[in-house]
Amino acid sequence: GEDVEQSLFLSVREGDSSVINCTYTDSSSTYLYWYKQEPGAGLQLLTYIFSNMDMKQDQRLTVLLNKKDKHLSLRIADTQTGDSAIYFCAESASGGSYIPTFGRGTSLIVHP
Amino acid sequence: DTAVSQTPKYLVTQMGNDKSIKCEQNLGHDTMYWYKQDSKKFLKIMFSYNNKELIINETVPNRFSPKSPDKAHLNLHINSLELGDSAVYFCASSHTTSGQETQYFGPGTRLLVL
């Protein structure tokens, strides 16, 4: 079945760039998402990318997609303490029933 | 103007009890979902429901049942609660179109079974 994998933890210094990586197995994935979950809160969509795109940039966020390797990354420039959260990668395929598959989440810790 | 809301936010109860968690969305979406997030933050889809189809994750015990009085609500009823049901339960909704289908999540209900 489909699988989405992420590393569990990432620690960066404030002001540095963070890169969170994700791999997936479903070659029919159409949309790939990044969600952010702050402590005690629900998931919030950060950004998404369509599978025919290689890159998407939105302010401090850059999403890179390597469809051949089924690898997705999220780069956060100038990481701030407020970026500390869990980041979930998710994928879905269009057509049929839409049920996204989520990774286990990467805990980003930003220290001064 | 909350998009997806859940009640209660916290729920503490004894083993064996029956409880319900309510979810409402005011986004006009046609599909709603329930997720369970365990202590390790793993998100598991439990149900996906629109007015045409209920999709159940086969690993979900039949003690869990979704009930939808209308398109804007999908409540989760749990019978005979067990210790392992302790988790955070998230409701979500989306508009199912042929394009991108972003899910909007509620704030979660923290269930503790004693």
Q: What are the tens digits of pLDDT across the range A27-82?
A: 777 789 999 999 888 899 899 888 888 999 999 999 999 999 999 999 999 999 99
Q: A-chain residues within 8 Å CB-CB of B103?
A: 43, 45, 100
Query: What separation in angstroms does the CA of B104 have from each of A26, B46, B89, B112?
Result: 23, 16, 14, 24
Is residue A106 within 8 Å of A72, Cβ to Cβ? no
Vertex B103: Cα angle to B69 and B96 (nearest 5):
70
Whether pLDDT at A95 is above 70:
no
Cα dihedral A29, A57, A7, A95 in deg (nearest 10): -10
pLDDT confidence of residue A51: 86
Whether pLDDT at A96 is above 60:
no
Contacts of B58 (CB under 8 A, 6+ apart): none
Tell whether B72 lies on the interface with A, counting CB pairs under 8 A.
Answer: no
Q: A-chain residues within 8 Å CB-CB of B45?
A: 99-100
Is residue A100 within 8 Å of A90, Cβ to Cβ? yes
Percent of chain A scoring above 90 in pLDDT: 64
The reply to whether residue B105 touches residue A44, judged by beta carbons under 8 angstroms, is yes
pLDDT confidence of residue A31: 85
What are the mean pLDDT values of chain B's consecutive 10-residue runs (114 residues total)? 89 97 93 90 87 78 92 95 96 73 88 97
The reply to whether residue A97 touches residue B48, judged by beta carbons under 8 angstroms, is yes
